[in-house]
Amino acid sequence: MKITNIDQLNIRDSLPSPKGVALAVLQMCNNENTSVHEITRLIQTDPTLSYRLIYRANLTKTTSRPIASVSDAIIHLGIQSVKQLAMGFSLIDQYQQGNCKAFDYLQFWSHSLLMAIASETFGNVIRVSVREELFACGLLARIGFLALATTYPQKYSEILENEDKRRTLVEQERLYLETDHNSMTAAMLLDANFATELVEPVYYHEEPMESGFFEDSRCYRLTQLFHLAKHLADIAITAKVEYFEQTSELMLLAKKIGFETKTFADMVQDIIHSWKNWNTLLKVPCATLPSFQNITQTIEQFSEDSQNASALRVLVIEDDPVSRQLIQEILSSTLGHTVFSAENGQQGLSLGLETMPHVVITDWIMPVMDGLELTRALRATEWGQNIYIIMLTGVEEEEKLAKAFEIGVDDYIIKPINIRTFRARLRAAWHYRRLQDSWQHDQKQLKQFAAELATSNRKLEQAAHTDILTGLPNRRAGMEALSRTWSIASRSYQQVAAILIDIDFFKNINDSHGHAAGDTVLQTIAASIQNTARKGDFFCRIGGEEFLIICQDKKTDLNSTAIFAERLRNKVSLEHINIQGKTIAVTISIGIALKEGYMQNEDELIKAADKALYAAKHAGRNRIYCATGNQFFVPDLNS
């Protein structure tokens, strides 16, 4: 999971963020000492937010008694959910329009609302997380789009308007903006204190195969759930010509999770109803969908047909009723295929959109739209690329047939139809379909293999950068992180600090209590560092009893770094480590160095910190020394 460093890109101030009462709610909810009564009083100053939270609480209540007060709604929903909902509702109110001309703000929120409701509804059936978490995750799963549109309005508008068929939208975003909407979403959700086990599935929901999650794991099921919810939301705003194809794929995704067609169709109807209510409440427009019940009936029929490998769905387009009836009779009664028919090319195109045939048999000359025009129209659509098209013609003229093949016809039959020839032509169509199925199966296997390989590579890379004993990054990972941090600091003129930590008298611990005791001490110190480190700090074990912490942000200076180091030193000194029934105390010595003008590279920074560490140990251990130039001193923590 690639998470955008918001501070590194210097875009925090321009990101979408809640305001007014919602912002105050977020700040208050982050304070552990805040009471429900205080939060209630604050929310009651905003009637709109109060009503929305009460409405939301009543949707998920399990008792017959309605929730009528803000305090009851907060207790029912929970502080974390109230915070997330306040954030989401505030963003919807503030960002219904903006400066990114190519970004449809209202459509974005309509899509987000449907995804929120679908995520909650699906999750309520398969039980992978609590409803409020799924609603919030669905609502903000694509907030990275809004972040890019708000932060880079002109650049992002150009990207959205650019029809670059060689690159995906994510690839274009990374190329021109040095980040992408998925990375931005993950960064913003983590910044809002969403749980990592929810953020990772959200990050991979567009391409679940790239996640590498094990099947049946919670993260895998959450990723599939969000993917299904996104697909449903996509259908709500899609063009009608693509509706059937996308709905078919939606049903396949639903079955993959474990939903039956009838049950799923009922769920979708409920989701659409709730979606319309929420859109009205939040003043966001929503699209009108065709009847999902009707479309699922057709899908069920196709599903049954597909069980017979030799059966094809054939669309016959012929303006002569006698000839059309004869062809239908041969196809259905004699050859056992499922047949649909139309009188002209225009009707045939519309019926083809609904029935998704494997084979189209069309007459050449017809009113309204002839066979060649129909072939062009079919080949212009994505779903029409894979249809096998057979042209009926009364004359076998080489020039005309060559033109038909150029346009996209696969085969032709001379009228009047010979049944033996007809059967042979359809056998060729059937083989063509089998090859397509085989190719799709191979593609699926290749994707699965690629995903498994990517997972293995990630695990190997993680193992190569992890210290097995402590679970912290190892020296290799630390030096790579330091090199990256040094480069960023040099380009942006930011400060960077290195803190070297050494466990005092560690050899004595090994000699007196054994190496197992030494391992326990190392693990305890590693946990203390991990629990004390600030947001943005990088820490690792660089070997033996030594650890390294790299500090870089806008506020990094000698005083703040020394205060943090003292807090860590004091925490370690208060640890009581149990070794075979005996309690031992451990102390650490710390050396600090900041990037200075004379330093040419990160190695000199580490050398300076190492000299300061040596000075601390030489002065008696269990203390902090700082390096400035060639001087080493105890920092004044009261300044």
Residue 294 lies in a domain: yes
How does pLDDT run across 117-146, given as a tens digit for each residue?
899 888 888 777 777 788 888 888 998 999
0.85 exceeded by pTM: no
> Would you say residue 278 has pLDDT above 50?
yes
**How far, in Å, CA of 594 to CA of 552, rounded?**
10
> Would you say residue 30 has pLDDT above 80?
no
**How far, in Å, CA of 220 to CA of 196, rounded?**
14
* CATH at residue 576: 3.30.70.270
> Would you say residue 299 has pLDDT above 50?
no
Same domain, residue pair 220 and 336: no
Token couple for 369: 């739209």
Same domain, residue pair 620 and 505: yes
Same domain, residue pair 406 and 334: yes
Q: Are strands 538-543 and 546-551 parallel, antiparallel or unpaired?
A: antiparallel
DSSP helix/strand/coil, 491: helix
Token couple for 591: 């050396």
**What pLDDT, on a 0 to 100 scale, did the predictor assign at position 496?**
93
How does pLDDT run across 551-610, given as a tens digit for each residue?
987 678 889 999 999 999 999 999 888 888 888 999 999 999 999 988 999 999 999 999
Token couple for 242: 């693509």
Residue 459 lies in a domain: no
**What pLDDT, on a 0 to 100 scale, did the predictor assign at position 413?**
87
> Would you say residue 291 has pLDDT above 60?
no
> Would you say residue 497 has pLDDT above 90?
yes
Residue 11 lies in a domain: no
**How far, in Å, CA of 259 to CA of 247, rounded?**
14
- Supply φ then ψ for residue 288, to 5 degrees: -100, 120
- Supply φ then ψ for residue 211, to 5 degrees: -70, -35
Choosing from 281, 307, 333, the residue where a domain stops is: 307
Same domain, residue pair 395 and 385: yes
Residue 248 lies in a domain: yes
Range of the domain at 335: 308-437
Same domain, residue pair 280 and 366: no
**How far, in Å, CA of 359 to CA of 495, rounded?**
67
Asked if 186 and 197 touch (Cβ cutoff 8 Å), the reply is: no
Same domain, residue pair 126 and 159: yes
Q: CB within 8 A of 534, min separation 6: which ones?
A: 551, 564
**How far, in Å, CA of 425 to CA of 432, rounded?**
11
Asked if 212 and 455 touch (Cβ cutoff 8 Å), the reply is: yes
**How far, in Å, CA of 292 to CA of 215, rounded?**
29
Residue 466 lies in a domain: no
Asked if 42 and 24 touch (Cβ cutoff 8 Å), the reply is: yes
User: Between residues 212 and 98, which one has the greater pLDDT?
Assistant: 98
> Would you say residue 614 has pLDDT above 60?
yes
Q: What is residue 466's DSSP assignment?
A: B
**How far, in Å, CA of 359 to CA of 462, rounded?**
50
Choosing from 307, 326, 342, the residue where a domain stops is: 307
Order the strands of the 588-594 sheet from edge to edge.
538-543, 546-551, 497-503, 588-594, 624-628, 631-633
Q: In a 10 Å sphere around its CB, with 0-12 CB exposed, 13-18 middle and 19+ buried, how is residue 248 labelled?
A: middle
**Three-class DSSP labels, 504-561:** CCHHHHHHHHCHHHHHHHHHHHHHHHHHHCCCCCEEEEEECCEEEEEECCCCCCHHHH
**Three-class DSSP labels, 234-274:** HHHCCCHHHHHHHHHHHHHHHHHHCCCHHHHHHHHHHHHHH
**Highest mean pLDDT, choosing among 45-49, 120-124, 215-219, 520-524:** 520-524
DSSP helix/strand/coil, 632: strand
**How far, in Å, CA of 27 to CA of 450, rounded?**
43
Residue 467 lies in a domain: no
Q: What is residue 214's DSSP assignment?
A: P
In order of 255, 293, 455, the CA distances from 260 in angstroms are 6, 13, 31
* CATH at residue 320: 3.40.50.2300
**Letter string b/e over residues 167-176, b meaning 16 or more CB atoms within 10 A of that residue's CB:** eeeeebbeee
Average pLDDT over residues 397-414: 87
- Cα-atom radius of gyration of the chain, to the nearest Å? 32
Percentage of the chain surpassing pLDDT 90?
25
Q: Tell me the helix, strand and coil percentages in the chain, rounded to 5.
A: 60, 10, 30
pLDDT band with cut points at 50, 70 and 90 for residue 4: low
Which residue do the tokens 């208060």 mark? Answer: 574
How does pLDDT run across 243-260, given as a tens digit for each residue?
545 665 677 677 777 777
Same domain, residue pair 621 and 523: yes
Same domain, residue pair 482 and 547: yes
Kindly report which listed range (161-175, 478-492, 594-608) carries the lowest average pLDDT score: 161-175
**What pLDDT, on a 0 to 100 scale, did the predictor assign at position 307?**
43
**How far, in Å, CA of 605 to CA of 550, rounded?**
11
Q: Kind and range of the H or E element at 230?
A: helix 218-236
Kindly report which listed range (295-299, 476-480, 534-538, 634-638) carries the lowest average pLDDT score: 295-299
> Would you say residue 240 has pLDDT above 60?
no
Asked if 498 and 483 touch (Cβ cutoff 8 Å), the reply is: no
Average pLDDT along the chain: 83
**What pLDDT, on a 0 to 100 scale, did the predictor assign at position 249?**
64
Please tell me the total count of domains within the chain.
Answer: 4
pLDDT band with cut points at 50, 70 and 90 for residue 508: very high
pLDDT band with cut points at 50, 70 and 90 for residue 297: low
Residue 6 lies in a domain: no
Same domain, residue pair 627 and 502: yes
How does pLDDT run across 582-599, given as a tens digit for each residue?
889 999 999 999 999 889
Same domain, residue pair 381 and 425: yes
Residue 293 lies in a domain: yes
Beta bridge partners of 338: 313
Q: Which of 396, 493, 114, 506 is nearest to 276 (CA)?
A: 114
Q: Which of 156, 154, 155, 134 is nearest to 145 (CA)?
A: 156
Percentage of the chain surpassing pLDDT 70?
90
**What pLDDT, on a 0 to 100 scale, did the predictor assign at position 1?**
59
Q: In a 10 Å sphere around its CB, with 0-12 CB exposed, 13-18 middle and 19+ buried, how is residue 593 labelled?
A: buried
> Would you say residue 539 has pLDDT above 60?
yes
Kindly report which listed range (338-342, 456-460, 486-490) carries the lowest average pLDDT score: 456-460
Choosing from 70, 94, 118, the residue where a domain stops is: 94
User: Between residues 49 and 356, which one has the greater pLDDT?
Assistant: 356
Average pLDDT over residues 327-342: 80
Asked if 282 and 113 touch (Cβ cutoff 8 Å), the reply is: yes
Asked if 411 and 390 touch (Cβ cutoff 8 Å), the reply is: yes
In order of 118, 125, 169, 379, 386, the CA distances from 389 in angstroms are 38, 43, 33, 10, 9
pLDDT band with cut points at 50, 70 and 90 for residue 478: very high
Average pLDDT over residues 417-444: 77
Amino acid at 277: N
Same domain, residue pair 110 and 224: yes
**What pLDDT, on a 0 to 100 scale, did the predictor assign at position 7?**
63
**How far, in Å, CA of 593 to CA of 633, rounded?**
11
**Letter string b/e over residues 349-385, b meaning 16 or more CB atoms within 10 A of that residue's CB:** bebbbebbbbbbbbbbebeebbbbebbebbeeeebbe
The count of C-alpha atoms lying within 13 angstroms of the C-alpha of 225, restricted to the half-sphere facing its C-beta, is 32
Average pLDDT over residues 2-8: 64
Cis peptide bond prior to 201, omega within 30° of 0: no
Same domain, residue pair 183 and 312: no
Average pLDDT over residues 438-446: 78
End-to-end Cα distance, the chain:
41
Average pLDDT over residues 186-191: 86
Average pLDDT over residues 482-487: 92
